[in-house]
Amino acid sequence: MMEVRTIHAFDDNYIWLIGCQGRPEVAIVDPGDADPVIARLEQDGLKPVAILITHHHGDHTGGIAELLARYPIPVYGPAQERIRQLSHPLKEGDVVELAGCGLRLSVLDTPGHTRGHICYMGEGALFCGDTLFAAGCGRLFEGSAEQMHRSLEKIRALPDQTLVYCAHEYTEANLRFACIAEANNPDTLARRDEVAHLRRQGQDTVPSLLGREKLTNPFLRSHIPSLQQAAEAWVGHALHNPVEVFATVRNWKDALD
Ligand code: ZN
Ligand code: FE
């Protein structure tokens, strides 16, 4: 049985420790900062066996060097990006097996936020970095809207029960936008209230269920006619396909941020 531990870093980053129940071996996902990771490893008596990177941004990679100075472990990450300490470049279809517990994670190519962004999928969990967020998605820094849309469609094809472990706690702000884009979506309105309540109590809203994302995350819903109409009203002209709707909804959110 997979067990995932949550580490908070910086203002709103999540670093995930993936392991197997009852075993000390863990993989560290996107260690932007080494200090909170080392503290947690020591506190819980864990043995790091790998670092898994989703993309090259500093808030996901900044702690690698310090961790490697302590723990000589392999660093997995996207083959398409330059990450200095990478020992095992990965691409779609590759599988990472965690030493000790035998857990297997397969790799999805999900370009868009960055050119080479990858996600890790296994045991009903998706570690998706800055591609999909709870009720949102990553900004298009290096890829096109078409690439990001294709990446998100790949994620949307996964089972509803998939747990989404994204890399930031952005959910409350994302839902503020989702309720503007889909003012008549009851699932979105209900989720906004639920998340506001959780955040007031200082609780995390990640991981989330992919099924819930499919109902409430506007960036997984470009094919929904009412969202298309709202995007057309915002941009002031007709949109002809889900990619255009996605690009418009992304621009709409960027314009409000
Ligand atoms: Zn990023
Ligand atoms: Fe990030």
Specify the CATH number for 1-90; select among 3.40.50.300, 3.30.1490.190, 3.40.50.720, 3.60.15.10: 3.60.15.10
Mean pLDDT of 101-123: 97
Residue 168 known to be catalytic? yes
Provide the token pair at 81.
């990006």
Residue 113 known to be catalytic? yes
Mean pLDDT of 127-153: 98
Class of domain 104-257: alpha beta
Distance 65 CA to ligand 1 centre (A): 18
Residue 11 known to be catalytic? no
Over residues 207-224, the pLDDT tens digits come to: 999 999 999 999 999 999
pLDDT band at 123 (very low <50, low <70, confident <90, very high): very high
Determine the pLDDT at residue 100: 86
Q: Which ligand is nearest to the CA of 166?
A: 2
Mapped onto helix, strand or coil, the DSSP state of residue 48 is strand
Exactly one of 30, 33, 56, 59 is catalytic; name it: 59
Exactly one of 56, 113, 117, 149 is catalytic; name it: 113
Mapped onto helix, strand or coil, the DSSP state of residue 181 is helix
Residue 94 known to be catalytic? no
- In the chain the beta strands, taken as DSSP E runs, fall at 2-9, 13-20, 25-29, 47-52, 75-78, 88-90, 95-97, 104-109, 118-122, 125-129, 132-133, 136-137, 163-166, 208-209
Distance 130 CA to ligand 2 centre (A): 5
Q: Boundaries of CATH 3.60.15.10 in the chain?
A: 1-90, 104-257
User: What burial letters (b/e) apply to 124-149, b meaning 16+ CB within 10 Å?
Assistant: ebbbbbbbbbbbbbbebebbebebbb
Q: How far apart are CA 218 and CA 228, in angstroms?
A: 10
